[in-house]
Amino acid sequence: MNETHPPHIPVTKPRYSATFDQGTISEIQRAAATGIYDIRGGGAKRKLPHFDDLLFLGASISRYPLEGYRERCGTDVVLGTRFAKKPIHLKTPVTIAGMSFGALSGNAKEALGRGASAVGTSTTTGDGGMTPEERGHSQTLVYQYLPSRYGMNLADLRKADAIEVVVGQGAKPGGGGMLLGQKISPRVAQMRNLPEGIDQRSACRHPDWTGPDDLEIKLLELRELTGWEKPVYIKLGASRPYYDTALAVKAGADVVVLDGMQGGTAATQEIFIEHAGIPILAAIRPAVQALQDLGMHRKVQLIVSGGIRNGADVAKALALGADAVAIGTAALVALGDNAPELEEEYQKLGTTAGAYDDWHEGRDPAGITTQDPVLAARLDPVKAGRRLANYLSVLTLEAQTIARACGKSHLHNLEPEDLVALTMEAAAMAQVPLAGTGWIPGKNF
């Protein structure tokens, strides 16, 4: 018997604080022990207003649907029609987002190229340059032009099918890249012209332009370097999407890429990932509005990313006005990241399948986010590429299923009018009515 609490007196159960919850306490303890912020990969993990808060209104009497397997529903998209002599024509509007060789293993990059090419879409380099394997296995390759300019060279620039000037990314708008010493292997070091094994800190601003007026001249140079052939994208981390999109258009972008805070990163401070930027749901409509105000919607294409997981997300993004989407985290999962078969190894790393996000440490048992040759060899690029192709096909088929049900003969015919919101927050952000009402918060007073 507990002497201080006789049996007839109820015991007050331990109560955890909602403010200082267990995760918060463990982070304070970790910070106190190490003196350094927590770094991880991936995007925002907190619950955010997202595409799940939207629903499609299927066709009924007021409009009729298309037959599921018999009536055509187009999925193709052309990117770069504004200035480029050679726009990109993709069979599906689901593209692969930029991820670097360095952050990812060579086999993972090859698998991304194989999977994307199999379904007729593009893949994208990252902060580390273009590898021959990546170029060789990617039918359509977008070459990122980043502040660090690691591995940037004229020959590779001319081998690319499009150029993506990276201003920011959703996981860390305003932040630079990071690749810790464990992943600066001899090949990565050679490609980036860095000493092996050091912590690489990429700049957050470009070295030779600041502001939209300079950017306009930079884009002129890039076009002159490549004979005005290639579409030039500008990638933005979603923060002020209306003004940033307008300025990207003013600077001369063919395509604007908008990445919400759920978009992944190879390595960044946890506090940055969770507390900077806005959800992609809140970013699409302002960006589309900017394009419409400038008379450039569908002339400058909009690619959105950050938390795209299934065909419904694809369809919703397109219905809100995007021309295409990009996937990163989901593509890695399709390759084999966080696979349950690796649970034992995840446990040894202090985590569990489905939660592994220490991509910066280079110890990925799936062989994807690593430069360890033994671990990297675990990933079969042919099989992993096939899994990605399967997944991309499912996304496309799912989006078609929804579009047909809404009576649309092309994914691009989806429109905001096809959507309603489950929450007031989502209704306000997506600017569609709350389900069962005609009310859009902030409008229709």
Which stretches of the chain bind another protein, using CB under 8 A?
Answer: 34-36, 148-149, 152-155, 157, 181, 193-195, 198-199, 201, 203, 207-209, 214, 217-218, 220-221, 224-228
227 vs 354, beta carbon nearer another protein: 227
Judging by beta carbons within 10 Å of its beta carbon (0-12, 13-18, 19+), is residue 289 exposed, middle or buried?
middle
H helix intervals, 180-269 = 186-192, 211-225, 241-251
82 vs 149, beta carbon nearer another protein: 149
234 vs 322, beta carbon nearer another protein: 234
Smallest gap, in angstroms, from Cβ of residue 68 to another protein? Answer: 49
Smallest gap, in angstroms, from Cβ of residue 210 to another protein? Answer: 9
157 vs 422, beta carbon nearer another protein: 157
List the structure tokens of 69.
């397997």
Smallest gap, in angstroms, from Cβ of residue 255 to another protein? Answer: 21
153 vs 437, beta carbon nearer another protein: 153
Alpha-carbon distance of 327 to 361, in angstroms, equals 22
Side chain identity, residue 428: A
Q: Give the count of beta carbons closer than 10 Å to the beta carbon of residue 205.
A: 11
280-293 vs 241-251: helix crossing angle, rounded to 10: 50
Judging by beta carbons within 10 Å of its beta carbon (0-12, 13-18, 19+), is residue 224 exposed, middle or buried?
exposed
119 vs 189, beta carbon nearer another protein: 189
Smallest gap, in angstroms, from Cβ of residue 221 to another protein? Answer: 4
Alpha-carbon distance of 204 to 272, in angstroms, equals 13
List the structure tokens of 46.
């907190």
| Closest C-alpha among 211, 235, 221 to residue 98 | 235
120 vs 212, beta carbon nearer another protein: 212
Smallest gap, in angstroms, from Cβ of residue 268 to another protein? Answer: 13
46 vs 201, beta carbon nearer another protein: 201
Smallest gap, in angstroms, from Cβ of residue 49 to another protein? Answer: 34
28 vs 377, beta carbon nearer another protein: 28
Alpha-carbon distance of 4 to 409, in angstroms, equals 74
Smallest gap, in angstroms, from Cβ of residue 199 to another protein? Answer: 5
Side chain identity, residue 389: A
Chain-centre distance of CA 341, in angstroms?
25
Smallest gap, in angstroms, from Cβ of residue 164 to another protein? Answer: 16
Question: Residue 30 contacts by C-beta under 8 Å, 6 or more apart in sequence?
Answer: 38
List the structure tokens of 205.
């601003």
Are the C-beta atoms of residues 368 and 335 closer than 8 Å to each other? yes
229 vs 343, beta carbon nearer another protein: 229
Ordered DSSP codes for 144-189? EE-SS-TT--HHHHHH-SEEEEES--TTSTT---EE-GGG--HHHH
- Report helix, strand or coil for 68: coil
Alpha-carbon distance of 212 to 438, in angstroms, equals 39
Smallest gap, in angstroms, from Cβ of residue 36 to another protein? Answer: 5
Distinct helix (H) and strand (E) counts, the chain: 15, 16
Smallest gap, in angstroms, from Cβ of residue 40 to another protein? Answer: 15
Task: Report the DSSP pairing between strands 301-305 and 324-327.
Answer: parallel
128 vs 321, beta carbon nearer another protein: 128
Smallest gap, in angstroms, from Cβ of residue 66 to another protein? Answer: 45
